[in-house]
Amino acid sequence: MDSLSQLDQVKTTPWSGGRSPWSVEYGKLMMWFFLLSDAFTFSSLLVYYGAQRFSKFTWPNPDLVFQSIPGIKDSGAPLVFVGIMTFILIMSSVTMVLAVEAGHRRAKSQVVGWMIATIIGGFMFLGCQALEWTHLHHEGFWWGSIPEPEKLKEFFTGPVSNVAAQQFANLFFTITGFHGFHVFSGVIINIIILCMTINGTFEKRGHYLMVEKVGLYWHFVDLVWVFVFTFFYLV
């Protein structure tokens, strides 16, 4: 042990071993690389969506497909509901980063408060997504099914294509579903971290690095939504 520690002292440059050359704790680094791989998965889904859309003469117009606010307005309000969803997710990202900030100060009660706010934001987003899915399902869109020809005409500004509508439906439910699954698992992980914070696990450990790690995951989920929002609702 003694000679080992002496050996360690000789090594001082970042890449000579004995310490993380990037000054990032192991778990956090692995979270980064997991998120990188997840970014590839989401990219491949979105790029496939783009390629499909590029290959078709016509595509359902998002302003016509997404124009309801469940429970308030059935049509004529494009982007409003998804705007609310986007706001909720950005807001929950802010509460998450505030939890991380409180963790740096080791302010346990503040971490607990901001984590609870983040979890509520996550559930609100999932609720909105459930409403959105239900609405589209009632219109007739689902994996492998599209609305009746009469109804389908309402979603196109140009000529109607059954194949384009089907590709749109499949990809919409797959991609927002995969994202929603990430939000759901993020909420579960946040709840676990909240329980550990309340139990005082991190206080005993002396640092709140776990909060930072789940924070990275949660921000990534927000990041993916930014892209999903652009490519499904705006473009």
Partner 1 sequence: MSEQHLHNTEEHAHDEHAGLSKSKIWQVFFILLGITVVEFVIALVILPGGMVSRMAANIAYILLTLLKAYYIVAFFMHLKFEKTGLKLSLGLAFIFIFYFITLMLIEGGYLNIHMTLNS
Q: How far is the CB of 184 from partner 1 (least distance, A)?
A: 20
8 Å CB contact between 55 and 164: no
Nearer to partner 1, 20 or 75 (CB): 20
Tokens representing 145 are 């099914």
Tokens representing 49 are 């969506």
Q: How far is the CB of 92 from partner 1 (least distance, A)?
A: 11
Q: How far is the CB of 45 from partner 1 (least distance, A)?
A: 11
DSSP state of 153: G
Q: Report the first-to-last Cα separation within the chain, whole angstroms.
A: 61
DSSP, collapsed to helix, strand or coil, labels residue 197 as helix
Nearer to partner 1, 160 or 191 (CB): 160
Nearer to partner 1, 99 or 136 (CB): 99
Nearer to partner 1, 163 or 192 (CB): 163
Nearer to partner 1, 134 or 230 (CB): 230
Q: How far is the CB of 213 from partner 1 (least distance, A)?
A: 11
Q: How far is the CB of 127 from partner 1 (least distance, A)?
A: 20
Cβ neighbours of 121 (radius 10 Å): 25
* Integer-rounded Cα radius of gyration of the chain: 23
Nearer to partner 1, 98 or 136 (CB): 98
8 Å CB contact between 14 and 21: yes
Q: How far is the CB of 154 from partner 1 (least distance, A)?
A: 18
8 Å CB contact between 114 and 215: no
Cβ neighbours of 212 (radius 10 Å): 19
8 Å CB contact between 86 and 201: no
Which residues of this chain interact with partner 1, rule CB under 8 A?
8, 14, 18-26, 29, 32-33, 36, 39-40, 43-44, 47-48, 50-58, 63, 78-79, 83, 86-87, 90-91, 93-94, 96-98, 100-101, 104, 159, 161-163, 206-209, 212, 215-216, 219-220, 222-223, 226-227, 229-230, 234-235
What backbone torsions phi and psi does residue 91 show, to the nearest 5 degrees? Answer: -60, -45
